[in-house]
């Protein structure tokens, strides 16, 4: 302790001494005079990036953020430091060049943000529509006074340069070793700042940078320069991936589909032909919600009602990968699986997809999607076009206010309400339509509990006192836990589904319509919270001990299998018919397109999933990590072990066969997307020409 105190005192003393020396010897002034170009470059680049963030992202968290300033400072210090390798007379050109480059990044993003409320991506440069749409609008409508402020960097450098010229600054001679020393010192300072920045990062920050889809978040954390560099890498990666291996991929594809059995018609074939469709993408809705009640109130009464009146697929999984919501959409619409690197929505939005909206369009449907969030989230602005939606209604089409905002954006009640107004108009104009409504409120972290309304997740009991009087006691149970908050949030979202159904009915929109509801993926909640849910001890307000006879094990297998999500297909007149029942065969999100296709009379001949009424109890659900599930077995490929669901052992051969199938499915799906195998006219020659054109 004494030693630490002594060292600390020595450090403080030496700092004081150095500060005094710096003051006395005017070292700062001297440094500034000798490095004025570098300093102007660094300061203006950091100011520009900070200004961009402050103008675009209006949140206290952003206003107070130090991390992006550190990130920007590290980048420009290193770039600026490398300028010292040049002779003084060449440095102005170097700094001006980079200053213009960094200014352009800020300026383009500022304009793009004004127009699209998101940051720009180089991947969009290949989309001519973007250049066309924005090109005309830029100078007149979109470029605002604030955008001119970004020019301070190059302007300041030009002014400083003319002053320096007059002072004969550039006549100074600096020998090579001196220049090298200066470079090393400055770059090292940049590296230290970068290190400090790295310490501020959380695992979520890193994973979001890798995914590169939550652009605002990345800019808010990493600053605009790292965002843009990362964006370039993310945009180039799929192009590189698709350069090699096309022939082998095409052969695998042909072999796979030659060997695949053709679909057989069944009693569900064409039963919904010509009907309108409303698909509800239920954010983070898990099936286990539907079995739960607190103090006699169901968590999801509306979902439960729809399930009890319609076709309820109770063993349904959404094998999403890092693309979460967007992977669910991909699988639902295209019967493909998530890609092995990046996400289909962000990295491969320019590929050809045999997607449900596009296939229904060919049958005369008007197709649309609606979502209250920013259109660039998960790159939906582009990907929804590739999937064949005629129109994507996003945040900019909704009246979003502070009052109607919950979590990521407009709450599900306001979103549905405004959506029904839009659907009513669509239905007036079009005979047949297919629409997707994507919910948003029930999104992790489920923290805005006071906005979810009153839904206690405690245990209330009435106890009789010895004197005969009664009183109500409450045990906290799930109150204050993340899982408990999820129940409150899900109950809130479920209420919005109830209101939506009522309004659709009032507007007569359910008469000839099939409603399809799916949970997009699980809510990623802690297993310990589930242990509390199933093993709560009221007396101690904690989880029962594992050796307690009443303890119910909720192990990792139960947790993984518990991640299932609901799929409900419902029509107003289905209740009591033979369709109205629970369907228990295992099924996955990528089985939906062939299943619906069979019912609506369209087909994707390159679907990787199956019509569940064709494959029935022989279905296998494959997960992106190679795990798989049948009605009888759940196999964990990481551990190389399985859980029998029917108390029977499974042979090594069976495991091997299914492992091969899982790998094949994941590979073929990935190759279809990466090599754009569904695109017609894909001869090798055309691909080479196209790749060259894209490269120029
Ligand atoms: C974003 C919403 C949520 O618009 O769909 O995406 P997620 O985080 O669930 O992938
Ligand atoms: Mn989601």
The per-residue pLDDT for range 112-141, each reduced to its tens digit, is 888 777 788 886 664 433 333 334 444 445
683: pLDDT strictly greater than 80: no
Q: State the pLDDT at residue 3.
A: 66
Least confident of 287-296, 594-603, 631-640, 657-666: 631-640
Best residue for ligand 1 mutational test, from 211, 213, 325, 407 (most atoms within 8 Å of Cβ): 325
Q: What's the 244 CA to ligand 1 centre distance in angstroms? A: 32
366: pLDDT strictly greater than 60: yes
Average of per-residue pLDDT across 289-310: 98
- Asked if residue 225 belongs to a domain, the reply is no
691: pLDDT strictly greater than 60: no
Average of per-residue pLDDT across 132-159: 73
Average of per-residue pLDDT across 233-248: 85
- Asked if residue 634 belongs to a domain, the reply is no
Give the Cα separation of 655 and 649 in Å (integer).
Answer: 11
Q: Are both 531 and 408 inside the same structural domain?
A: yes
Average of per-residue pLDDT across 143-165: 91
Q: Which ligand is nearest to the CA of 321?
A: 1
Of 566, 596, 616, the residue at which a domain comes to its end is 616
422: pLDDT strictly greater than 60: yes
Give the Cα separation of 33 and 177 in Å (integer).
Answer: 21
Instruction: Give residues (CB < 6 A) around ligand 1.
Output: 324-325, 373, 377, 443
Q: Are both 537 and 417 inside the same structural domain?
A: yes
- Asked if residue 9 belongs to a domain, the reply is no
Least confident of 222-236, 237-251, 572-586, 589-603: 237-251
Q: State the total domains in the chain.
A: 2
Q: Are both 343 and 410 inside the same structural domain?
A: yes
Of 208, 225, 253, the residue at which a domain comes to its end is 208
Q: Are both 159 and 308 inside the same structural domain?
A: no
pLDDT tens-digit profile of 431-454? 999 999 999 999 999 999 999 999
3-state DSSP call for residue 484? Answer: helix
Tokens of 414: 């306001």
Q: Which atom of ligand 1 is nearest to the CA of 325?
A: 10
Q: Please state, for a pLDDT cut of 90, what percent of the chain lies above it.
A: 75
pLDDT tens-digit profile of 544-559? 999 999 999 899 899 9
Q: Are both 57 and 199 inside the same structural domain?
A: yes
Q: Which ligand is nearest to the CA of 326?
A: 1
Ligand 1 atom 3: the closest Cα is on which residue?
325
Least confident of 211-215, 279-283, 332-336, 354-358: 211-215
- Asked if residue 635 belongs to a domain, the reply is no
Average of per-residue pLDDT across 168-173: 78
- Asked if residue 665 belongs to a domain, the reply is no
406: pLDDT strictly greater than 60: yes
CA atoms lying within 13 Å on the CB side of residue 161: 16
Q: Are both 126 and 196 inside the same structural domain?
A: yes
Of 160, 182, 208, the residue at which a domain comes to its end is 208
Task: Write down the mean pLDDT value for the chain.
Answer: 90
Q: What's the 324 CA to ligand 1 centre distance in angstroms? A: 7
Q: Are both 468 and 367 inside the same structural domain?
A: yes
Ligand 1 atom 9: the closest Cα is on which residue?
325
Residues in Cβ contact with 657 at an 8 Å cutoff, skipping those fewer than 6 apart: none
Helix, strand, coil percentages (3-state) for the chain, rounded to 5, are: 55, 10, 35
Best residue for ligand 1 mutational test, from 208, 281, 283 (most atoms within 8 Å of Cβ): 283
- Asked if residue 74 belongs to a domain, the reply is yes
CA distance readout (Å), 17 to 11, 27, 357: 10, 13, 72
Q: Are both 348 and 487 inside the same structural domain?
A: yes
Q: What's the 380 CA to ligand 2 centre distance in angstroms? A: 13
- Asked if residue 434 belongs to a domain, the reply is yes
Q: 64-76 as b/e, with b when 16 or more CB fall inside 10 Å? A: ebebbbbbbbbbb
Q: Are both 276 and 204 inside the same structural domain?
A: no
Q: State the pLDDT at residue 694.
A: 43
Q: Are both 202 and 297 inside the same structural domain?
A: no
- Asked if residue 73 belongs to a domain, the reply is yes
Q: Are both 556 and 428 inside the same structural domain?
A: yes
Residues in Cβ contact with 312 at an 8 Å cutoff, skipping those fewer than 6 apart: 566, 567, 568, 581, 582, 583
Ligand 1 atom 7: the closest Cα is on which residue?
325
Find the domain containing 124 and state its range: 35-208
- The CATH number of the domain holding residue 364 is 3.40.720.10
Residue 236: pLDDT band with limits 50, 70, 90: confident
Q: State the pLDDT at residue 552.
A: 92
Q: Are both 199 and 280 inside the same structural domain?
A: no
């Amino acid at each position: 302790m004494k030693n630490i105190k002594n060292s600390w005192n020595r450090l403080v003393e030496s700092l004081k001494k150095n500060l005094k020396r710096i003051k006395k010897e005017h070292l700062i002034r001297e440094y500034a005079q000798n490095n004025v170009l570098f300093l102007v470059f660094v300061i203006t680049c950091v100011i520009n990036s900070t200004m961009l963030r402050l103008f675009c992202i209006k949140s206290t968290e952003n206003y107070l953020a130090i991390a992006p300033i550190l990130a920007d400072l590290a980048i420009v210090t290193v770039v600026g430091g490398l300028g010292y390798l040049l002779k003084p007379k060449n440095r102005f050109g170097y700094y001006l060049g980079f200053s213009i480059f960094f200014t352009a990044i800020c300026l383009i993003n500022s304009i793009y943000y004004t127009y699209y409320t998101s940051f720009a991506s180089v991947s969009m440069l290949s989309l001519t529509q973007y250049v066309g749409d924005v090109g005309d609008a830029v100078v007149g409508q979109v470029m605002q006074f604030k955008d001119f402020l970004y020019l301070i960097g190059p302007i300041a450098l030009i002014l400083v340069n003319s002053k320096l010229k007059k002072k004969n600054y550039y006549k100074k001679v600096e020998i090579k070793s001196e220049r090298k020393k200066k470079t090393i010192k400055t770059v090292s300072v940049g590296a230290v700042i970068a290190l400090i920045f790295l310490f501020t990062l959380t695992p979520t920050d890193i994973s979001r940078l890798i995914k590169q889809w939550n652009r605002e978040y990345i800019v808010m954390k990493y600053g605009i320069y790292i965002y843009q560099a990362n964006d370039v890498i993310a945009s180039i990666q799929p192009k590189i991936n698709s350069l090699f291996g096309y022939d082998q991929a095409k052969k695998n594809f042909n072999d796979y589909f030659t060997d695949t059995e053709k679909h057989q018609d069944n009693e569900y074939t064409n039963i919904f032909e010509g009907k309108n469709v409303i698909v509800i993408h239920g954010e983070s809705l898990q099936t286990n919600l539907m079995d739960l009640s607190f103090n006699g109130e169901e968590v999801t009464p509306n979902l439960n009602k729809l399930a009890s009146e319609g076709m309820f697929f109770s063993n349904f999984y959404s094998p999403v990968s890092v693309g979460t919501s967007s992977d669910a959409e991909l699988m639902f619409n295209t019967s493909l699986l998530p890609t092995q690197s990046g996400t289909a929505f962000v990295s491969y939005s320019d590929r050809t997809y045999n997607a449900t909206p596009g296939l229904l369009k060919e049958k005369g449907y008007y197709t649309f999607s609606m979502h209250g969030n920013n259109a660039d989230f998960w790159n939906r602005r582009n990907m929804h076009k590739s999937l064949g939606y005629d129109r994507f209604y996003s945040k900019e089409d909704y009246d979003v206010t502070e009052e109607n905002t919950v979590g990521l954006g407009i709450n599900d009640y306001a979103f549905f309400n405004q959506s029904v107004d839009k659907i009513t108009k669509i239905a007036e104009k079009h005979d047949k339509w297919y629409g997707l409504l994507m919910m948003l409120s029930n999104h992790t972290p489920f923290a805005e509990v006071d906005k979810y309304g009153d839904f206690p997740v405690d245990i209330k009991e009435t106890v009789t006192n010895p004197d005969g009087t009664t009183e109500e006691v409450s045990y906290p149970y799930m109150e204050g836990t993340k899982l408990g908050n999820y129940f409150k949030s899900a109950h809130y979202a479920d209420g919005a589904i109830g209101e939506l159904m009522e309004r659709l009915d009032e507007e007569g929109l359910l008469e000839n319509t099939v409603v399809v509801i799916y949970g997009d993926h699980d809510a990623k909640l802690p297993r310990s919270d589930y242990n509390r849910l199933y093993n709560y001890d009221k007396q101690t307000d904690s989880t029962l001990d594992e050796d307690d006879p009443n303890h119910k094990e909720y192990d990792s297998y139960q947790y993984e299998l518990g991640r299932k999500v609901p799929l409900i297909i419902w029509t107003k007149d289905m209740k009591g018919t033979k369709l109205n029942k629970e369907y228990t065969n295992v099924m996955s999100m990528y089985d939906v397109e062939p299943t619906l296709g069979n019912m609506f009379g369209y087909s994707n001949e390159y679907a990787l999933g199956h019509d569940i009424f064709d494959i029935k109890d022989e279905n296998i659900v494959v997960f992106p990590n190679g795990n798989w599930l049948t009605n009888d077995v759940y196999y964990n490929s990481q551990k190389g072990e399985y859980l029998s669901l029917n108390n029977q052992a499974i042979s090594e051969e069976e495991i091997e066969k299914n492992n091969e199938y899982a790998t094949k499915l994941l590979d073929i799906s990935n190759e279809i997307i990466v090599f754009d195998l569904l695109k017609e006219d894909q001869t090798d020659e055309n691909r080479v020409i196209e790749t060259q054109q894209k490269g120029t």
